[in-house]
Chain A
Amino acid sequence: MKERIIFGYDPFVIPFTLGVIFILLYLGTGTVRILLSLKREEAINLLSSIFSVKIFKTFKDILFDVLLHIKIFKRNILLGYMHTSIAFGWFMLIFIGHIEVILYTPQRNGVIYYPVFFRYFVMETSQTLRGAFFFFLMDLFLLIVISGVALAIYKRFRSVRLGMKRTTRLKTGDKIALWSLWMIFPLRLLAESFTADISGGSFLTSTINNLLGRFAESTLYMDTIWWAYSCALALFLFALPFSRYMHIPTEILLIFLRNAGIKSTSSRDGFAESEIYSCSSCGICIDACPMSVSGNKSEYTSVYLLRKLRRRRQDSLFMAEQCLMCGKCVELCPVEIDSCRLKLLKKRENFPNKIFDYDYLGKREPVVESRANLEKKSKVLYYAGCMTHLTPQIYRSLFNIMDRAKIEYSFMDRDGSICCGRPLILSGGENAAKDLVEANSKIILSSNADILLLSCPICFKVFNENYNLKGVKVMHHSQYINLLIQEEKIKLKKGDFSVVYHDPCDLGRGSLVYTEPREVISAAAILKESSNLPNESICCGGSLASRRFTQSERDSVTLHSLEKLNVNNPQKLVTSCPLCLKSFAKLNKRETLDIAQLVENQMI
C-alpha cells in the first residue's frame, strides 16, 4: 500500500482537524474541572479504583454500557441494535483506521486526520490479502453503522416500532448534531466509493464505485465529497458540547467516577455534572415515568429535568418537586444516572430549614407502650408509623398473626407516632429530619428490642438508610411473616382465589425486597403476575415525595397502575404498603388487601 499524496495533506482535512482540536480542549477542560471539584477522599478512592482490580470492572462497564448498550438490548432488540451499531460500529471504524495507519503508513502515526481519511491518502495497486482484509472490515462496519443510522431515521417517524411510545423533544443543538451525525456515514460511504478505484475498496465501496462510474466521473466529484464528509464531521464535533451527544465522552468519565464509589453532593456541580452531561436524552425514562400518564406532566420527567439542570435553569426546582420519586427512571436508565438523588439535592438546596422547629420532641421522655408485660423485655418492637395509623386494619391483622404465633411485642407508637422522617427527607429537609431521627432512635434503643417491625415501606427504607440502630434488625412485616411461616409458627391454607402483588416503590426498588412477599402470597393464594416486572412496578400515585401533584392527577396515576396490575384478571390485589393500600382501595373495583390481612384470613 502506497501513499498517493506525498505530503499526506490536503486542505479538506482542516474542518475536521479544527473540530477535533476544539473537542479535545473542551473535554480536557471539563474533565479537569470535574476532577478538581472532587474532595480529597473521593480523589483517593478514584486513584485506588484505577490502580486495582476494579479497573477491569470499569473496562467491562465501558465495553457493555458505552459500546454495546447491553441494557437497551434487554429492553428492545431493535432499539439496542440501533444504539450498538452506531456506537460500536463507529468505534471500530476509528479503531481499525488507526491500526491501518500503524501497519501501512507508520510514518503518519500521530497525524490526527490520517486514520479517518486513510482511504483518500493511499492507493492500492494490487489486491493484497492484508489490504483486502482490512478494507472488508471497514466496509462491514460502515454498513453496520449505516443500518443503525437508517433505523435512527426510521425511529424519528415510527418510534413505537422500536419500543418507544414517546421520544424526547430535541433542542436546536441536538438537532444540528443529529442531522450532522446522520450525514457523516452516508457521506463517508460516498467519499470512499469515489476513491475506491484508486485506493481500493471492498464489497460495498467497490460496488458503488463501479455503479457510479457508469454515470459520474469519480475524479470530478471526489474532492467535493471528501470536503463534505470532513465538514459534516466538523459540524458534529463543534455541536457536540451543546447537544445530547456529549454523553458519548462523558459517560466514560462517569463510569470511572461511579466505580470509585463517588456520589453526587450537589445538584449541578462536581460528580453531578458528569451525570447531567452523561444523559443521552434517549427518552426511556419518559415511557417509564408514571407522571407521563397524566396529561402534560411528561415534560417533568427526568430527561427534561436533567436538561434544565444542565442549563442551570431556575424552574428545575419546580420540576424536581413534581417527581413521585418512585425510582423507576433510575432503574431503567441505560446510563444509570441517579436522577432521583439529583432531585433530592435540588430540593435540599432550597429547603426552608430554619423555619421548621422540632424542639418539642427533645423535651419528651421516651415512652414505649406495651401490650405485653413491660417487665419482660419484648424482643419485637412494632412501629406503625403515620400511614399505618390511617389503615389500622393492617396492624390489627398483624397483631392477630403475632398473637397466634405467640410472639411478644411492644407497640412503640400506639398513642401516636413521631414521623420516621422520610417525608421530610423527600421534601429536601434532610437536616430538619435529624431531630425526628434522633427522637425515634432514642425510643427504639431504650426499648432493648432485637427486631424493629414495620408495616410501612417508607419507614422501612429510612430506618435502614438514615438511622444508626446498632443491634436492632429492621424488618418489614412481609419479611417477618415469611420468617414466621418458615419457622412454622403459623400455618396457612392455600386459598383457591388468585391475587396479584403490587411492589411498593420503597420496598421493591427502594429496598430490594421482592421475594419474601411473593413467598408469603404463594403460600396463601394463587399468585398471578402483573404486566410489569417486579422492579418495574408502577407507583400507586400516593407518593409523598411529590409536592405538586393534585388529587385528580394522583388518581390518574393510580388508575394507570391498576390497569397494568389487573391485566391477568386476578380476583384480589395484595400490596404491603399502607399508602398503596389507601390509594388502590379507593379506585380498585376488586378487593384490595394488605399482605397481613391476606395471611390473617388464610391462617389455620
Chain B
Amino acid sequence: MVDFGFKLSSSNRIDLDSCDSDLFLKLKAESGTIKQCIACGSCASSCSAANFTGVNFRKTILLIERGKNEEAKELIKGCMLCGKCTLVCPRGINTREIILSINQYYKKERF
C-alpha cells in the first residue's frame, strides 16, 4: 500500500456495554459517593501530589466510569492520601476511600 505519510487513527470509542465496569460497580456498592461526581476539578486543583506528578482524581473517576481501570490505577499511584480533595469536594465525595479501594482492589487482583 502506498504510504501517504498519514494513517487512520484508531477508534477512541468506548462501548459502555462491554467495558470492564467491575471496579466502578464495586466502588458504587461501597459507599456510592463516586457517582455524585460533577467533574468540577476541585480535587485536582488542590492536590498536593499534583504539584510534583500527574495525579488527577477527577480524571481517575472518569477513567473508572469508562472501565479503564488500569490507567486509573497508574494515575492515582502517586497520591499521598493527604485528604485535601475530601475537604474541598463540593459534593462530599469520600475521595480517600475511593483511592484506597482502587488500590486494595488491585492488591487483591495482583499480589
Q: Using a CB–CB distance below 8 Å, which chain A residues touch chain B?
A: 350, 352, 354-358, 360-361, 364, 386-387, 389-390, 415-419, 421, 423-424, 427, 429, 436, 542, 544, 547-552, 579, 582
Per CB-CB distance, the 9 closest pairs between chain A and chain B, nearest first, are: A551-B92, A416-B51, A352-B107, A419-B80, A386-B82, A352-B103, A419-B82, A544-B83, A355-B103
When the two chains form their complex, are residues B52 and A423 in contact, meaning their CB atoms are under 8 A apart? no
Residues of A within 8 A of B88 (CB): 390
When the two chains form their complex, are residues B83 and A386 in contact, meaning their CB atoms are under 8 A apart? yes
Residues of B within 8 A of A544 (CB): 81-83, 86, 96
Which of A389, A424, A550 has a CB less than 8 Å from the CB of B31? A550
Which of B31, B78, B110 has a CB less than 8 Å from the CB of A360? B78
- The reply on B20 being an interface residue by CB < 8 A is no
Interface centre among B48, B51, B78, B86 (most CB of A within 10 A): B48
Residues of A within 8 A of B31 (CB): 548, 550
When the two chains form their complex, are residues B104 and A350 in contact, meaning their CB atoms are under 8 A apart? yes
When the two chains form their complex, are residues B87 and A547 in contact, meaning their CB atoms are under 8 A apart? no
Inter-chain CA distance A364–B78, complex, in Å, is 14
Select from chain A the residue with minimum beta-carbon distance to B97: A547
Residues of A within 8 A of B92 (CB): 550-552
The B interface, classified by DSSP as helix, strand, loop or mixed, is helix
Inter-chain CA distance A355–B78, complex, in Å, is 9
Please give 12 more A-B residue pairs, beta carbons under 8 A apart, in addition to A418-B48, A427-B81. A352-B106, A354-B110, A354-B111, A355-B106, A386-B83, A423-B80, A424-B80, A424-B81, A548-B31, A548-B97, A550-B33, A551-B92
**Interface positions of B from 36 to 87, Cβ below 8 Å from A:** 46, 48-49, 51-53, 73, 77-84, 86-87
Residues of A within 8 A of B80 (CB): 358, 386, 418-419, 421, 423-424, 436
When the two chains form their complex, are residues A389 and B84 in contact, meaning their CB atoms are under 8 A apart? yes
Inter-chain CA distance A386–B86, complex, in Å, is 12
Residues of A within 8 A of B110 (CB): 354
Q: Using a CB–CB distance below 8 Å, which chain B residues touch chain A?
A: 31, 33, 46, 48-49, 51-53, 73, 77-84, 86-88, 92, 94, 96-97, 100, 103-104, 106-107, 110-111
Inter-chain CA distance A74–B96, complex, in Å, is 39
Nearest chain B CB to A429's CB is how many angstroms away? 7
When the two chains form their complex, are residues B87 and A423 in contact, meaning their CB atoms are under 8 A apart? no
Inter-chain CA distance A350–B48, complex, in Å, is 25
When the two chains form their complex, are residues A551 and B82 in contact, meaning their CB atoms are under 8 A apart? no
When the two chains form their complex, are residues A549 and B87 in contact, meaning their CB atoms are under 8 A apart? no
19 example contacts (A-B, Cβ-Cβ < 8 A) are as follows A352-B106, A354-B107, A354-B110, A355-B73, A355-B107, A357-B77, A360-B53, A387-B82, A416-B52, A418-B52, A419-B48, A423-B83, A423-B96, A424-B81, A429-B81, A436-B80, A547-B97, A551-B33, A551-B94
The A interface, classified by DSSP as helix, strand, loop or mixed, is loop
Interface centre among B31, B79, B83, B104 (most CB of A within 10 A): B83
Residues of B within 8 A of A548 (CB): 31, 94, 97
When the two chains form their complex, are residues A390 and B87 in contact, meaning their CB atoms are under 8 A apart? yes
Residues of B within 8 A of A350 (CB): 104
Interface centre among B31, B51, B78, B82 (most CB of A within 10 A): B82
Nearest chain A CB to B44's CB is how many angstroms away? 13
Residues of B within 8 A of A364 (CB): 52
When the two chains form their complex, are residues A355 and B87 in contact, meaning their CB atoms are under 8 A apart? no
Residues of B within 8 A of A542 (CB): 87
Nearest chain A CB to B93's CB is how many angstroms away? 8
Select from chain B the residue with minimum beta-carbon distance to A547: B97
Which of B48, B97, B103 has a CB less than 8 Å from the CB of A417? B48
CB contact under 8 A between A386 and B84, given known A360-B53, A364-B52? yes
Inter-chain CA distance A552–B33, complex, in Å, is 12
Residues of B within 8 A of A421 (CB): 80
Inter-chain CA distance A189–B40, complex, in Å, is 73
Residues of A within 8 A of B33 (CB): 550-551
Residues of A within 8 A of B81 (CB): 419, 423-424, 427, 429, 544
Residues of B within 8 A of A424 (CB): 80-81
Inter-chain CA distance A358–B52, complex, in Å, is 10
Residues of B within 8 A of A355 (CB): 73, 77, 103, 106-107
Inter-chain CA distance A389–B48, complex, in Å, is 9
Nearest chain B CB to A378's CB is how many angstroms away? 23
Residues of B within 8 A of A427 (CB): 81, 96, 100
Residues of B within 8 A of A352 (CB): 100, 103-104, 106-107, 111
CB contact under 8 A between A358 and B82, given known A350-B104, A550-B92? no
Select from chain A the residue with minimum beta-carbon distance to B94: A550
Residues of A within 8 A of B100 (CB): 352, 427, 547
Nearest chain B CB to A518's CB is how many angstroms away? 27
Select from chain A the residue with minimum beta-carbon distance to B83: A544
Inter-chain CA distance A550–B31, complex, in Å, is 8
Select from chain A the residue with minimum beta-carbon distance to B36: A551
When the two chains form their complex, are residues B96 and A547 in contact, meaning their CB atoms are under 8 A apart? yes
Interface centre among B77, B97, B100, B104 (most CB of A within 10 A): B100
CB contact under 8 A between A423 and B82, given known A355-B77, A416-B51? yes
Residues of B within 8 A of A416 (CB): 48, 51-52
Residues of A within 8 A of B78 (CB): 356-358, 360
Inter-chain CA distance A427–B104, complex, in Å, is 12
When the two chains form their complex, are residues A387 and B53 in contact, meaning their CB atoms are under 8 A apart? no
Residues of B within 8 A of A417 (CB): 48
Residues of A within 8 A of B73 (CB): 355
Inter-chain CA distance A532–B99, complex, in Å, is 35
Residues of B within 8 A of A549 (CB): 94
Residues of A within 8 A of B77 (CB): 355-357
